[in-house]
Amino acid sequence: MLCWVLAFMKRFLWEKHPFPLLLYLEWILLGAALLATLSFLPPPPHPPHLPHFQPHYPGVLRLYILPNLGVRIPLGAVISISALGLLGLRSPVNVRQFQALYTGLGFGLSWLTVLLGARGERVLPALLLIVVIRACLMFPWRGRLLVAVTAYASFLLMLLVNVHRIQLFGIPIPRSPLLRAPLQRGAGRLSSDMVLLNLTLNSALLFGFVLVFVLLLVGALLAEKQSRQQLGQANRRLRQYALLIENQATLQERNRIAREIHDSLGHSLTAQSIQLENVAMLLPDDIEQANQHLQKARLLGKEALQNVRQSVATLRTHPLKGQSLGGALTKLGQEFEHTNRIQLQSDINLKSAPSPEISTVIYRVVQEAFTNVSKHSQATQVRLALRQYSKDLSLLVEDNGRGFEPIANTTGFGLQGMRERIEALGGTFLLTSLPGQGCQIQVNIPLSGETA
């Protein structure tokens, strides 16, 4: 039973509450309030048998633990405090129209605890602090100050009720034994009034200081959480900018290399082809044999020139060539299956087009994975799965090849490049492989940091 309770608290309270420290503080205040509802009783005229429950008046029990020791338990107050604690399980942090009602219900349960038999000066401060803490998580600073002022006014009202013996709704409020003591006349009465006034002022000042401390504490926690979120967003943007700059720099370098190849090697091969044609025309001896060799050299030169032009076109073209990510991967898989004679099982499910940065990284990772499979794995089957969820993009590439030991692989520059590309987008890269058990690559990239 205890394990089930702890598991429930961990899953539905610790993991969902934005500030576990404030949750612990609420529990401490609730425990203190429950203990404060109890009060000791004088020994009865005829001690009952132990243990014994003796009704006092409706909603209150007297429990005699020892013959000369009894405890007064206001059941209504205990139930009201428990209801306030259960109210914290569901906080309308993101539902603005219910936040004021939620806070008002917290104040109502706090005062109901006092009306049902608990001593206000002992129980109400802890309950009001709980209401203020919860309100700080829902409202901005203006709302927090309004709730804090309301809580402080409620505390002052409780002190006023105790001092002047005011009945709320005709219900007598339990009072401290010091306040129930009869006041003396003359100098003694003046001394008692001064003591009572000093105690009241000290209580009011102390509770005010505690309220200010709670407001500052919760404000600091909220500011620190907001700073962490902003820092995380800034880090994601920086990673995206770094990847974008890297892609732009790579594209510029490719264009520069393409121009160099076209202007130097292409020109040289073209000139070579022209010179060979001239030689073929001017060579007088053994014309037939010379023509055969020259014809072969001319064909080789033209082939080299064609290869150079294809390389230039490849360098100038975007990896996806204007296609969608799903279409590019489908075409890449068909070429891989046709070239390597390896059966490919493809499962691509994209709800929308990812950003160009993510699409390029996914394409390069799959391309490098297919290259590694064709070179090293000796696999007969490969599975490709790409799925898009609401917050992330999941990629899986696995084969049934011979596998390897990842720790012993010291020359895996392609694997390192894949990992760096994924981590630059804030994603995770996991490679699993064992000798004789194939290889599996799992990639997860968050979509929340995409830019339009």
Domain ranges for the chain, please list them. Answer: 16-181, 247-316, 325-446
pLDDT digit string, tens, across residues 210-258: 999 999 988 888 888 888 888 888 888 888 888 888 888 787 777 767 6
Cβ-based neighbours of 434, under 8 Å, separated by 6 or more: 403, 405
Pairing of strands 69-74, 39-41: antiparallel
CA distance 373 to 438: 10
The answer to whether residue 186 scores a pLDDT higher than 70 is no
**Phi and psi dihedrals of 398, rounded to 5?**
-140, 150
> 410 vs 387, which has greater pLDDT?
387
pLDDT at 96 over 90: no
What's the pLDDT at 53?
Answer: 44
Q: What is the average pLDDT across 416-426? A: 86
Q: b/e for 261-290, b at 16 or more Cβ within 10 A?
A: bbeeebeebeebbeebeeebeeeeeeeeee
In this predicted structure, the answer to whether residue 70 has a pLDDT above a threshold of 50 is yes
User: Could you give the C-alpha distances from 51 to 41, 57, 60, 64, 292, in angstroms and in order?
Assistant: 15, 19, 17, 6, 119
The average pLDDT across 34-49 equals: 68
User: How confident is the model at residue 232, as a pLDDT?
Assistant: 84
Q: What is the pLDDT of residue 183?
A: 45
pTM of the model: 0.53
39-52: average pLDDT: 56
The predicted-structure confidence for 111-149, as pLDDT tens digits, reads as follows 888 888 787 888 989 999 999 998 888 888 888 999 999
Residue 86 has pLDDT above 50, yes or no: yes
Taking the CA atoms of residue 46, residue 49, residue 52 and residue 54 in that order, the dihedral angle to the nearest 10 degrees is -20
How many whole angstroms separate alpha carbon 342 and alpha carbon 339? 8
Which of 357, 386, 363 lies closest to 450 in space, CA to CA? 357
* CATH of the domain spanning 325-446: 3.30.565.10
- What pLDDT is recorded for position 409? 67
Contact 280, 290 (CB under 8 A): yes
Q: What number of helices (H) and strands (E) belong to the chain? A: 13, 9
